[in-house]
Structure 1
Amino acid sequence: MNIDHCSYSSHTDGYHDLRRNGFNHFLIRVQIEGRGKATIQSKTYQLEQGSIIFVPPGTHYELTIEPNQLSGDYHLLVTGDWLEDWWEKLDCPDFAALSSTDTIVTLWRLLSTEKLRPSHEQNHDLNTHLLKSIMLMIETEINARHSIQRPFIVTRMMRYIEEHALERLTLEDVANEVDLSVSRASHLFKDHTDKTMIQYAQHIKLEAAINQMKYTNMTLEQIAFTCGFGNYPYFHRLFTREYQMSPSQYRKIN
């Protein structure tokens, strides 16, 4: 497998790319900000944050960014059997929508930086593993969307909470991420997860705290702070309510 190109593009004043006979490579493009429109064969897709398109070699492709429209994306041009076999295993999608791009973009950025080095200085095994990690994360999300019966927007909220639960997180942050009011976001989340957004964030924090208690020598006060509880009394109260024992008791028996 050869990674022939990996880069980031940003457009603010319009852009148009028409490839009637497609590329000689397999194109994968993920929209990370703004909007655009892509036509693959005869199908047209509206692109927004999290939209990812797959364009195999020799496939008609057209990308349009309207004037005065912000658009940012990462894209790859790849040749080789591994990627085409992977794509066929997923039933050859043209388009998918990711609930979160943060982790994938981090890996994509690493790969893009590595590809800027002179070829003889690149770690080609690392490049291959980064690409495969990106694809497998995409695969996991696509499969999850098919197997879990809940609105995609709820999955997006869950992923956002998972990624930011240990930080200073508010209901407004989550609602803004999916362009909903706090009230609407809260109702949707509770209806499809049987938890409030706060309860879900607390669950993530408690799981993180348990890992810290098991595998580090940090004090309970330090764990309370690093896992986003703010102070030990609050951590103690939530932990005891959830596990019917105090954090110190849990640590002694584990």
Structure 2
Amino acid sequence: MKIIKDKFKNFMLSYTQDELFYRRLYEEEHLHPETFSQYVDSLDRNFIEQHQLYVPCLHETWFPYISENEFFKTQFQNIYIAKHNRYSPEYLHQHEFYEFFYVYTGSCINTIQGKEQICQTGDLCIIPPNTRHSIAVFDDSVIINVMIKSSTFHATFFELFTNNNVLSNFFSHTLYEKTENNYLLFHTQSDIVIRSLIEDIYIEYYGHKKYSNSLLDSYLLTFWVLLLRHHENHLESLLNTTHQNLALLDILNYFQANFMDITLTSAAAHFGFSVPHFSKLVKDNTGKTFIQLIRNIRLEKACRALKTTNLSISSICEIIGYLNPEHFNRIFKETYHMTPSEYRRNHTN
């Protein structure tokens, strides 16, 4: 199947044979309910079976759980991308691998853990394994689904987090430690770079050219980089949307900017929470305590200073907020299994 880039939108808006089947099925059920049973009886069962179509009144269950080995047919296939069939019956399911969907045009209803959410053009939702969810599209909207092997997702998405910073703590906790019944929703709106890259991934996948799998993995890493570069402050997750007044990324950015003299009490007061409540929110959303997060920020700053400056250890210690150099040395060695001086020698020319 050859898809031309400048005609991609028209290609996606056109109806496939399967979508025409589903649209007719939807119209018959909702516009002519009195004759719907007769219409179902007249359906071509061979066509339904050959195209693996889902008709609820003919199928008691429809792949409620999909394993990674069943879905990805070869060990070399790491990604699967396709347009979501418009008008296909909505059904709850879960799978062993990661999925993200992108609203190319229009909107859809995304249901996760029994909660419905309307996603608009430009919204991109990452769904971890073993999350029970469904997508409903009953108009001309175009939704693009991308399925990713767990190993590939971790190798590309989490490759971005080489430093143990607050953002990596949030993402890893959300998508790795708490994989069930959660999501990350990025509001990319009219970002033409993200949109274009989605198109490129789709075209490359169906082009079946030489080295396509390797190029798709590379595309995926580039996609995560651009997504986080431009939209890490335009996201929400089930973890932090349960607290309507909590803007988690604002809190993490506040930690990053005030790590030198911040305390749990001062941070809680800044955002208007009691200390116990604020402490629990931070731990629930990042998987780490307030003390662990601030320590990680300080150590990350110390490593950067050791590698890029000639400042003395005591000066670096003071800059990152540690008053006691011996305490700093002890924490640094516990974390990196070497002293600050040894780290500097190992990481500078």
State the TM-score, normalizing by the size of structure 1: 0.48
Structure number, greater radius of gyration: 2
Higher percent of residues as strand:
1
State the TM-score, normalizing by the size of structure 2: 0.36
